[in-house]
Amino acid sequence: MRVRDLLTMSAGHQEEANLREAEHWVKAFLGHPVPHKPGTGFRYNTPATYMLSAIVQDVTGQTVLDYLTPRLFEPLGIRKPQWDASPQGISIGGYGLYLCTEDIAKFGQLCLRHGNWQGRQLLPAEWVELATSKQVSNGSNPVVSLTCRFVHYFHETSKYTE
């Protein structure tokens, strides 16, 4: 399993690990069965986002919130973001980030501007392109009313069906 597999939610799990019931969330994720080859198919996996946060914290020595604050939140004028954390103090990742609507819109504008905010390149344009382009398809299911792709934590709606 690679970081890319976590980013594209193609970690190979059949079901999500139940981290909330675990004493140690990283160990619970790593101990969870992986019946499918990672990278071969999409399966929504919130615990994968937690693992990305754990990796960032291990590499940088900072929570994702602390890492992103001077690099992203402050330059965008986002004040006092809050992010829920695990019992180990790791930002949850896939949820629990509290921002107001205007702040979420700023992130959308940043992506539309290829990572540039008021003349400052906060995100590499190449990353924005990669993060918003197809990485792994979730296929199409005629039972589902909305077909979409999932790319680096962006949902792309491609077609509505009746």
For residue 139, the model assigns a pLDDT of: 60
Q: Which residues of the chain have pLDDT under 70?
A: 135, 137-162
For residue 117, the model assigns a pLDDT of: 97
Q: Where are the beta strands (DSSP E) in 47-144?
A: 82-83, 97-98, 116-117, 120-121
CATH 3.40.710.10 for the 3-160 domain, yes or no: yes
For residue 138, the model assigns a pLDDT of: 62
Domains of the chain, by residue range, sit at 3-160
Confirm if 10 and 3 have CB atoms less than 8 A apart.
no
**Which residues, other chains included, contact 102 with Cβ-Cβ below 8 Å and sequence gap of 6+?**
none
What's the token pair of residue 4? 């890319």
Taking alpha carbons only, the member of 3, 2, 1, 7 closest to residue 130 is 7
For residue 133, the model assigns a pLDDT of: 74
For residue 161, the model assigns a pLDDT of: 38
pLDDT in tens, 103-112: 999 988 999 9
What is the percent of the chain with per-residue pLDDT over 70, rounded to a whole number?
83
d(CA 67, CA 75): 13
For residue 157, the model assigns a pLDDT of: 40
Helix (H, G, I), strand (E, B) or coil at 152: coil
